[in-house]
Amino acid sequence: MRPSIRTRLLVLTTAVISLVVIAVAAVVWLRMSRSLRQRLDESLRAQAFAVASRLEEEYGLVQFDSEASEKTAIELFGDAFIQVLDGADNTMYASPPGWFERLSPPDRSPIIETDGVAFFDADSSDPQVRLRLMDMRLTISPSDDAKALRARVLVARPVGDVESTLTQLAWTLAGVAGVSILAALVGGHFVARQGVHQIVAVAKAIAQVAPDHPRLEIDLQRVPVELDPMIEKTGSLLCLIDRELERQRQLTADVAHDLRTPVAGVRTLLDVCVQRDRDAAEYVETINTARAALRQLSQLLDDVLTLARLDAGAEQPHVMRVLIKDVIRDATEIVRPAAIARGVSIECDGDCRVCIQTDPSKLMKILANLLSNAVGQSLPGGVVHVGTSADGNGCIIHVRDSGPGVPADLRNSIFDRFVRDDRARSGDDGHHGLGLPIARGLARLLGGNVELANTAGPGAVFHIRLPMQDNADVGKET
Amino acid sequence: MKLLVVEDDQLLGRCVVKGLREAGYVVDWAQSGDEGWRLLRAGEYDGAVLDWMLPGLSGVAVVQRHRARGGQTPILLLTARDSTDDVVCGLDGGADDYLVKPFDFGVLLARLRSLVRRGYGKPGPVIRVADLELNQPMREVRRGGERIELTPREYKLLELLALRADQVVTRTEIWNKLYESDDDGVSNTIDVYISYLRRKIDRGRTPLIVTRRGHGYMLRGKPCDPPSAHDCLS
């Protein structure tokens, strides 16, 4: 069975209260019983002394084996049984006569034995009557110088009264204990319910968190302080999940929009085309338009898939020795048609003869993305500069455009997906705001980064930082 | 019928505009939310097709502004956003219909026909004026059960008059709704088309097309009142 706080609290509370009650009852009973028996023994002793004083009257000086001092004459009690034995255990005196013969001899060891006085619990021949027996030894020294006489005084009293009082007390105590345990059960139930009430409320609030908008709606004033760490952690985790979900939703919506719109374009193009008969030239034009649109669409799909692979960690760099100059040349070739169409030229500063260990095709993709952006941002007639610098730690490839620069409100989000600076662009040029996130993702895969440089003056400058050695591999070896 | 298309995607916008024009609509095309809002506010459109995600104002913002100003133009949102929340948000924003990209162009046409009809208070696909019947989906015209062949332009003119039956439609209105702004026409083009229509529809029957001199034309569904009997003769 799984643990339940409520059951645990109930059982523990009840058990603790019950144990305390039972212990108290037991102590009360034991003390009571001891005190009653002591009083019984006191009265036996008093009677024994009374008997002894009678003996003294009859036979002269009685010397007790015990050091008991007082020998007060006390009236004999009616319900006591008394027997006096001489040294040879012959009965000298018995009251009532003959009764002690019916008493089963106390063959057990005495319960209390001090200074020649012993107390026994004895059974009489009458099974209803249990007795307390006192056996006192003494020496009688007669005044007429006769030989001193050793004697025993036996005094017995029934213990029925004491026992019935104790039994009554035991029943009363048991009753009180039973009621207390019942009360403990009820109290324990209440304590358990109150104890888990707040926890149950918090658990319910957490259970009610909606999966699509996870937010913890709970009144902190009513949460027990012990749960604070859990509430704080849960709240911050849910907040993170919510933000991530929102980001995913936004991304999905962006991907959906950017995929659906070109698909809708091609579909409408073809739907409209077959709406009526057209001449051959028009069909050819339609097909060419559809092909161009599908080319763009597959480019977008490639970009989305690249990002997905980067996210999933499925991209692996293939590291080799690379001359930066070659990569810049290849990337420039890819972007050149767009640059020519826009009237923008690309210039390489310096000879860029830096050699590093990296993945050339991924570096080329990074550079091509940056160059393509730079061309798009530059005004017709503008120049895009690309160059390299290196120090001990690594090398930096910089790409500078001659456009208006990245606006201040986009500086922080320019590397986010589907964020574009549309000011200098025509509405539909196949750019979806994935170029920079891909460039940054690939650069990080290569152990470097892509950053927007803080520069004064017109034109945005992007830096590709790369390690000289492949850091990823170095990291793996150590 | 004059429609406004607001779509920033070049290919989709071009194709939708082309398809709608071929279906006989007069179409204005705006490529940003702001331009769309300017045109919608200024022009009298029989319907508008709005993309949701636009540069500048979003499609929904345009709809909300238009409705806030009391604009009645039926609006269809054309969008890549397909979640339930988006649909609810779009329709609650004041749009009349919602179509998720990519869509079937035939469906877009049917929805626009329905929206435009409703805009004129005629929910059924067959418009009836007296014994004249216009079947919109089939683009078929019958009078007294007899089928009448019309050219696309004659059909659009008759459709406009039928949707506005028993109301005077001015020449300017007819020109705005049936001709692109760059169409060059002669001042009596409309009169010429009205006379073609009369020849095909009214010849040998009780005349339905009525001229209100100095105002415009009217397709009359109810019988003439005696005082204006001279109108019927013109």
Q: pLDDT digit string (tens) for B99-135?
A: 988 899 999 999 999 998 888 887 788 888 888 888 8
Q: What is the C-alpha separation between A445 and A438, in angstroms, rounded?
A: 10
**Has this prediction a pTM greater than 0.90?**
no
Task: Specify the domain boundaries for CATH 3.30.450 within chain A.
Answer: 5-168
Q: What is the C-alpha separation between A420 and A424, in angstroms, rounded?
A: 10
- Contact at CB, B9 and A428, closer than 8 angstroms: yes
Task: Specify the domain boundaries for CATH 3.30.565.10 within chain A.
Answer: 315-477
Give A411→chain B minimum CA distance, Å.
19
Q: What is the C-alpha separation between A473 and A477, in angstroms, rounded?
A: 6
User: What is the arithmetic mean of pLDDT over A214-224?
Assistant: 80
- Contact at CB, A427 and B80, closer than 8 angstroms: no
At B170, phi and psi to the nearest 5? -75, 160
Residue A83 CB neighbour total at 10 angstroms = 24
Would you state the pLDDT for residue A315?
84
Q: In A, what residues contact B, Cβ < 8 A? A: 253, 256-269, 271-272, 275-276, 289, 293, 422, 427-428
Would you state the pLDDT for residue A146?
64
Residues of B in contact with A262 (CB under 8 A): 9, 11-12
**Percentage of residues in chain A with pLDDT exceeding 70?**
82
Minimal-distance CA residue of chain A relative to B103: A264
Instruction: Measure CB to CB from residue A268 to each of B8, B16, B100 and give the nearest one.
Output: B16
Q: What CATH topology corresponds to A226-309?
A: Helix Hairpins (1.10.287)
Q: How confident is the model at residue A53 (pLDDT cuts 50, 70, 90)?
A: confident
Task: Specify the domain boundaries for CATH 1.10.287 within chain A.
Answer: 226-309
Which carries the bigger pLDDT value, residue A163 or residue A81? A163
Residue A323 burial (C-beta neighbours within 10 Å; 0-12, 13-18, 19+): middle
Residue A269 clears pLDDT 50, i.e. is over it: yes
**A45's tokens:** 């002793």
Q: How confident is the model at residue A66 (pLDDT cuts 50, 70, 90)?
A: very low
Q: What is the C-alpha separation between A399 and A461, in angstroms, rounded?
A: 6
- Mean pLDDT lowest for which of A282-286, B105-109, B134-138? B134-138
Which carries the bigger pLDDT value, residue B155 or residue A139? B155
Would you state the pLDDT for residue A50?
80
What mean pLDDT is reported for chain A? 80
Would you state the pLDDT for residue B230?
47
Complete domains list, chain B, with CATH: 2-119 (3.40.50.2300), 126-233 (1.10.10.10)
Q: How many CB pairs under 8 A join A and B?
A: 78
Q: What is the C-alpha separation between B208 and B161, in angstroms, rounded?
A: 10
**A345's tokens:** 């030229």
Residues of B in contact with A253 (CB under 8 A): 80-81, 83
Q: What is the CA radius of gyration of chain A?
A: 54
Q: Which CATH number fits domain A5-168: 3.30.67, 1.20.120, 1.20.1050, 3.30.450?
A: 3.30.450
Architecture of the domain made up of A315-477: 2-Layer Sandwich (3.30)
Q: What is the C-alpha separation between B79 and B98, in angstroms, rounded?
A: 8
Residue A4 clears pLDDT 90, i.e. is over it: no
Give B109→chain A minimum CA distance, Å.
11
